[in-house]
Amino acid sequence: MIKIENLHKSFDGKTVLIDITTEFLQGQTNLIIGRSGSGKTVLLKSIVGLIEIDKGNIYYDDRNFTLMKQAERKALRQEMGMVFQGGALFDSLTVEQNVRFPLDMFTNQTAVEKQKRVDYCLDRVNITKDAHKLSPSEISGGMKKRVAIARAIALKPPYLFCDEPNSGLDPETSKVIDDLIKGITTDLNITTIINTHDMNSVMEIGDKILFISDGKAEWEGTKTDILYTNNQKLQDFVFANRQYREIRDERKNPKPD
Amino acid sequence: MNFFFHTGRYFTLLGRVFSRPEKWRIYVRKLFQEIESLGIDSVGIVVIISIFMGGIITLQVAYNLQNPFLPTYLIGLGNRDTLILEFSSTIMGLIMAGKIGSNIASELGSMRVTEQIDSLEIMGVNPASFLILPKIVAVVFMFPFLYILSVFFGLIGGLVVGPAVGAVTATNYIDGIQHTFVPHYVYFSLIKSLFFGFLVATIPAYFGYHVEGGAYEVGSASTRAVVNTNIMILVFDLVLTQLLF
């Protein structure tokens, strides 16, 4: 579980996050949603420590990340896996080497053990053997995201973070990525936080949803609650998509049989 | 203000670079890769430039020594000392700032804008140390070798061009390059090359590591890296000449 208390962040006097307090639960896919520029990427990067916060506390289970020294943070980071928007795979390494990288850096496993783990992770994200030796520039955007997920789970981290995992992907590939993340979260019983503005992902895998608007935690709930919300800002965000307006209207006024 | 900001941030970055590596074995492997890509791959350009440089210096010295009272072996001596003292260290340093420096700045800059550096940070790897330290060690290690190579091929260039244009005979040229040899000149330039190697690796690394934005910013960081490295090489050349000569 990851808990955030009264988090504040501003850049050059401009407040980006205001008094965010929330909890992200273990074994669930926790989604941070909001318009572009609402502060969700800053929130995600603050949680993982890529951005230093001005005020507040971030707890990884019972460990206060905010008070940790550099060495302690470094150690905790080995428990984190992160999938970046563009994949952030290392260009100079092959698909296989990318996944093996964290194992090389942080384990004393034998070459055989590492290879076994790499094969398992790549297999888990449906990357076939013939793609193992390719470089990131030779694979598609969807495959890059899947390799990034494989790399993120290589060390079996208890915390998984995904920044816009579906951006730039077609709806079918997006669904594959969503299912993968959901499956991994459930199977490994990890705390997953996904940053997205894709409503399809919200409705598919949103166990817990945090809606950020103008830097504030505007609403929290589940994918079921979201369709019945009275929050005007959230309504504007969710029902900008006609498909969800129709679902809401149909649920409010069911058609007679 | 800007100067102090960059100087402070440069030394802060160096502080992170010179911290204990996570896994020595991987750093050593990376060091050999860097020695190959930054050092060995520069041998070709160093050889070509040095041959031409030596040939041109020989022609210039010969042109300026067109006097029956001056022995022609001075052409070889002039070429040798010019190469040893300045051209093979300073000019080669400036050229390498363009080749190696832009490579380092654009590589790190691209890694920054594609979040590869953030990715290392999240894994618990110190990206500054992991990415930059092997480059510094590789460049500082290779620069003295490139310097010696440059002097050697510069002298060969003079030996080819001097007799070819009839400015000096091969025998007189060889006599000249052996005349009144001062070993201190070589030590002095080897020390300079170590400093230049450090500047060529660290200044571009600083500019590349701190890129913010996209492809355009990577390009401009690369340009700023080369310009600033060149200026610092000349400043250090002046200071070291005053201190060591």
The whole-angstrom distance between A86's CA and the closest CA on chain B is: 7
* Mutate: best of A41, A52, A82, A98, partner B, most B CBs <10 A: A82
The chain B residue lying nearest A153, using CA atoms, is B123
Do A105 and B116 lie within an 8 Å CB cutoff? no
Q: Residue A243 pLDDT more than 80? A: no
Phi, psi angle pair for A31, to nearest 5°: -110, 135
The tokens for A206 are 């949103």
Calculate the CA A77 to chain-centre distance: 15
Q: Where are the alpha helices (DSSP H) in chain B?
A: 2-17, 24-34, 43-64, 73-82, 92-96, 102-113, 116-123, 127-164, 170-178, 183-209, 215-244
CB atoms closer than 10 angstroms to residue B190 = 15
In this structure, of A147-151, A175-179, B3-7, the range with the lowest mean pLDDT score is: A175-179
* Mutate: best of A50, A83, A91, A105, partner B, most B CBs <10 A: A105
- A104-134 pLDDT, tens per residue? 999 999 999 999 999 999 998 889 999 999 9
Residues of B at the A interface, defined by Cβ within 8 angstroms = 22-23, 26, 110-111, 114-116, 118-119, 121-126
- The pLDDT of residue A86 is 86
Quick check: helix, strand or coil at residue B174?
Answer: helix
Question: Which of B114, B118, B125 minimises the CB distance to A105?
Answer: B125
Q: A34's torsion region: left (phi>0), alpha (psi -120 to 50) or beta?
A: left
Residues of chain B with pLDDT under 70: 1
Alpha carbon distances (Å) from A114 to A14, A87, A96, A103, B21: 46, 22, 10, 7, 21
- b/e A27-55 (16+ beta carbons within 10 angstroms → b): ebbbbbbbbeebbbbbbbbbbbbbbebee
- The pLDDT of residue A254 is 66
The whole-angstrom distance between B5's CA and the closest CA on chain A is: 16
- A151-167 pLDDT, tens per residue? 999 999 999 999 988 88
Question: Which of B114, B116, B121 minimises the CB distance to A50?
Answer: B121
Q: Residue A250 pLDDT more than 90? A: no
CATH class of A2-79+158-252: alpha beta
Tell me the domain boundaries of chain B. Answer: 2-18+27-244
- pTM of the complete model beyond 0.90: no
Residue A175 to residue A182: CA distance in whole angstroms: 10
The chain A residue lying nearest B131, using CA atoms, is A90
Residues of A at the B interface, defined by Cβ within 8 angstroms = 48, 50, 74-78, 80-82, 84-86, 88-91, 101-102, 104-106, 161
How confident is the model over A167-188, as a mean pLDDT? 87
Alpha carbon distances (Å) from B9 to B12, B221, B222: 5, 15, 17
| Chain A residues inside the 8 Å CB shell of B118 | 50, 84, 88
- The pLDDT of residue A256 is 62
Tell me the domain boundaries of chain A. Answer: 2-79+158-252, 87-156
- The pLDDT of residue A257 is 58
